[in-house]
Homo-oligomer: A and B are copies of this chain.
Amino acid sequence: MDDIAVLSVGDELLFGEIDNTNASWIAERLFDNGCQVNEIITVPDKVDVIASKVERLLSEYKNIIITGGLGPTQDDITRDGVARATGQELIYRPELADNIKSFFNEIGKEVTENNYRQAYLPADAEPILNEEGTAPGFYLVAEGSNIFVLPGVPVEMKRMIDNFVLDRVCQPRQKNSYDLTLRVAGIGEAALEDRIKDIINRSEGIAFRFLPHGGEISIKLSLRPGFDPDNFAKVVAEIKEELGYYIYGEGDKSLAGVVSDLLRENNFSLALAESCTGGLIAKRLTDIPGASDFFKGGVIVYSNASKVRLLGLAEEILEKEGAVSRLAADQMATGVKELFDADFGVSVTGIAGPGGGTDEKPVGLVYSTICSNSCEFQERWSFSGDRKKVRWYASQYILNKLRLAILEAIK
């Protein structure tokens, strides 16, 4: 019998209006806690469909995590589906009704009759406290399997996974302190594998997974049961030694997060001059709380006139070399560093496409310069792919170059 299935309930997931990010979040959270989702299934808001899928999953899986369909409206029929699949009645729980009432009181709203639908649970179910909203989750055991039923609202679901589900699904024996994710940027997958293949080959009992995504690679290492933890530590050290600065972080770290931390810890300030990325790099850095500690600001110089006026780019360079050129990148970085009086000035200029490319300067061409004490032109990249991909890769490669420049500066 396999371990874990996730059942997502919701018409909206089958109309394609919404990606099923709940399921992928759960899969990742569980994986990081040493256990694995074996199947994800998405079904509409129909009682009979939910009931029949739950019946099937009960015969195949030890743990079934269900999300969605616990709201107050007539469409929300996950409670009914689970009750039917497990042959139980829905029973009114006065204590849950009280919770719902006080939740509404607190936010100063009236409870409607509909809201009390959420106080009905299958007879044997144990409620799971909702610290973020009104819909209680619930837990029951049927045919020897665990069923966890959680709301579809991400913040509510996530809390319940962390506080209630993880401990019950990922048995302590499965939890593995010898799991590690190394996050790598600035090297391709083939070159990376090539570089550490000797280490991998002599690492008995350690499983490796390479997950390339959006211009970086996660290396997931886990020690198989019964093998030597000391050897795990040794292998990790060898890989770190071999890859050096290619490793930008471990675990959950994001590249933008690592760059932010480096700037903050070293009291460096930053200013950005973006052309083709149109604010994407600034957006990525300011997605993270506390960006005002180091980010003085940026300019998005989408027109040539603004490059001249705000950044002092020489008209001559625009005429002779064009806005997408090494000299333009240099002057933009110099200009923005001065404009914001920042420790680091970073420029990006390029052609994101689909229009605007020429034989000489095709779509995907991107230049960047980073100035700190001195200015250093970084690279002339030729990214392939559509506009979205070119912009994302540019942001990714430039953030990585900025990381390396900061590391160089504090050497």
* Interface positions of A (Cβ within 8 A of B): 12-21, 23-31, 36-44, 49, 53, 155, 209, 211, 213, 218, 220, 272, 274, 277-283, 285-287, 289-292, 295-303, 305-306, 309-310, 339-341, 352-356, 386-388, 391
Contact partners of A301 in chain B: CB under 8 A:
297
User: Is B300 within 8 A of A297, CB to CB?
Assistant: yes
User: Is B299 within 8 A of A297, CB to CB?
Assistant: yes
Contact for A38 among B14, B296, B310, CB less than 8 A: B14
Contact for A297 among B44, B213, B303, CB less than 8 A: B303
**Which of A18, A272, A354 has its CB near the most chain B CB atoms (within 10 A)?**
A18
User: Is B44 within 8 A of A41, CB to CB?
Assistant: no
CA distance A25 to B30 in the complex (A): 26
CA distance A21 to B19 in the complex (A): 6
User: Is A27 within 8 A of B13, CB to CB?
Assistant: yes
Instruction: Looking at the assembled complex, report how far the CB atom of A70 sits from the nearest CB atom of chain B, in whole angstroms.
Output: 17
CA distance A290 to B213 in the complex (A): 27
CA distance A40 to B305 in the complex (A): 51
CB-defined A-B contacts under 8 Å, sample of 25: A14-B27, A14-B36, A15-B28, A15-B31, A15-B209, A16-B24, A16-B26, A16-B27, A16-B28, A16-B30, A18-B24, A19-B24, A20-B24, A20-B40, A23-B42, A40-B42, A272-B300, A279-B282, A279-B300, A280-B283, A282-B283, A282-B300, A287-B388, A289-B387, A297-B300
Instruction: Looking at the assembled complex, report how far the CB atom of A131 sits from the nearest CB atom of chain B, in whole angstroms.
Output: 15
User: Is A283 within 8 A of B279, CB to CB?
Assistant: yes
- Given the known A-B contacts A41-B40, A296-B303, are A289 and B24 also in contact in the complex, defined by CB atoms under 8 Å? no
User: Is B299 within 8 A of A286, CB to CB?
Assistant: no
Contact partners of A43 in chain B: CB under 8 A:
38-39
Contact partners of A38 in chain B: CB under 8 A:
14, 43-44, 49
User: Is A282 within 8 A of B278, CB to CB?
Assistant: yes
User: Is B13 within 8 A of A24, CB to CB?
Assistant: yes
User: Is B286 within 8 A of A295, CB to CB?
Assistant: no
Instruction: Looking at the assembled complex, report how far the CB atom of A25 sits from the nearest CB atom of chain B, in whole angstroms.
Output: 6
User: Is A15 within 8 A of B44, CB to CB?
Assistant: no
- Given the known A-B contacts A13-B27, A21-B19, A24-B13, are A296 and B289 also in contact in the complex, defined by CB atoms under 8 Å? no
Among residues of B, the one whose C-beta sits closest to the C-beta of A26 is B16
CA distance A28 to B20 in the complex (A): 13
User: Is A302 within 8 A of B297, CB to CB?
Assistant: yes
Contact partners of A220 in chain B: CB under 8 A:
15
User: Is B26 within 8 A of A23, CB to CB?
Assistant: no
- Given the known A-B contacts A24-B20, A279-B280, are A303 and B340 also in contact in the complex, defined by CB atoms under 8 Å? yes
- Given the known A-B contacts A23-B42, A353-B289, are A299 and B298 also in contact in the complex, defined by CB atoms under 8 Å? yes
- Given the known A-B contacts A279-B298, A300-B279, are A40 and B18 also in contact in the complex, defined by CB atoms under 8 Å? no
Contact partners of A26 in chain B: CB under 8 A:
16
User: Is A278 within 8 A of B289, CB to CB?
Assistant: no
User: Is A211 within 8 A of B27, CB to CB?
Assistant: no
